[in-house]
Amino acid sequence: MFTLPKLPYEFAALEPHIDAKTMEIHYGKHHQGYTDKLNAAIEGSALADQTIEEILAHVSEESTAVRNNGGGFYNHSLFWSILSPKSGVPTGALASAIDDSFGSFEEFKTQFSNAAATQFGSGWAWLVVQDGKLSVGSTPNQDNPLMDTTGLDGTPILGLDVWEHAYYLNYQNRRPDYIAAFWNVVNWDEVARRFEAAK
């Protein structure tokens, strides 16, 4: 059975960039809902013995419930981990890889923000690493780059939820303002840890 990861900060810790009420509902209702529905969908099947990464790797063979809720479980677990009230900028090998792949940190932010802004409807923007190279892209719904169903391949090391439930209470229709605020609360130490693990 999959369980919600414990949030490493309080609901209000990311204010004013992400408000406490949004965090409370997003974590306690949306993420809990995906988790409960994933568990219900895999109960009693062979999937119950697999890791979430294993399930996502062959999700094209599974039901829509497993795809949507497995993605929802994984994506939000990653999302909480890459947020922090103490942000900063990338350093070390991650900073070098960003410069090599995009030219500069500012250019990376522009490309990632553009992917998040132009994802039509609900979905996610991603920074992925594959064969040591970084790239950005987006996926609809709760899909992600670990799935064998999407055109964006690689290991996600940074993700941004652009479903309206992630920002509507505070930003209403202003998705670009939410994307701009996101850069104030990125946990670059965790992104770097995921980058090293994926290499």
Chain residues that interact with Mn ion, rule: CB under 5 A: 161, 163, 166
Question: CB-wise, 22 or 187, nearer to Mn ion?
Answer: 22
Choose among 142, 145, 141, 115: nearest CA to 130.
145
Q: How far is the CB of 155 from Mn ion (least distance, A)?
A: 20
Q: How far is the CB of 79 from Mn ion (least distance, A)?
A: 7
Both tokens of 145, joined, read: 């780059």
Q: How far is the CB of 162 from Mn ion (least distance, A)?
A: 9
Question: CB-wise, 76 or 194, nearer to Mn ion?
Answer: 76
Length of the chain: 199
Question: CB-wise, 161 or 190, nearer to Mn ion?
Answer: 161
Q: Phi first, then psi: give them for residue 112, nearest 5 degrees.
A: -65, -45
**CA–CA dist 39, 56 (Å, integer):** 14
**CA–CA dist 128, 159 (Å, integer):** 9
Question: CB-wise, 84 or 134, nearer to Mn ion?
Answer: 84
Q: Phi first, then psi: give them for residue 122, nearest 5 degrees.
A: -80, 145
Question: CB-wise, 2 or 195, nearer to Mn ion?
Answer: 2
Question: CB-wise, 9 or 168, nearer to Mn ion?
Answer: 168
The region that residue 134 occupies, defined by phi over 0 for left and psi between -120 and 50 for alpha, beta otherwise, is: beta
Q: How far is the CB of 72 from Mn ion (least distance, A)?
A: 7
Omega of the bond prior to 16 within 30 degrees of 0, cis? yes
Compute how many other C-beta atoms are within 10 angstroms of the C-beta atom of residue 1.
9
Q: How far is the CB of 23 from Mn ion (least distance, A)?
A: 11
Q: How far is the CB of 122 from Mn ion (least distance, A)?
A: 8
Are 99 and 186 within 8 A, CB to CB?
A: no
Q: Which residue is nearest to Mn ion (CB)?
A: 161
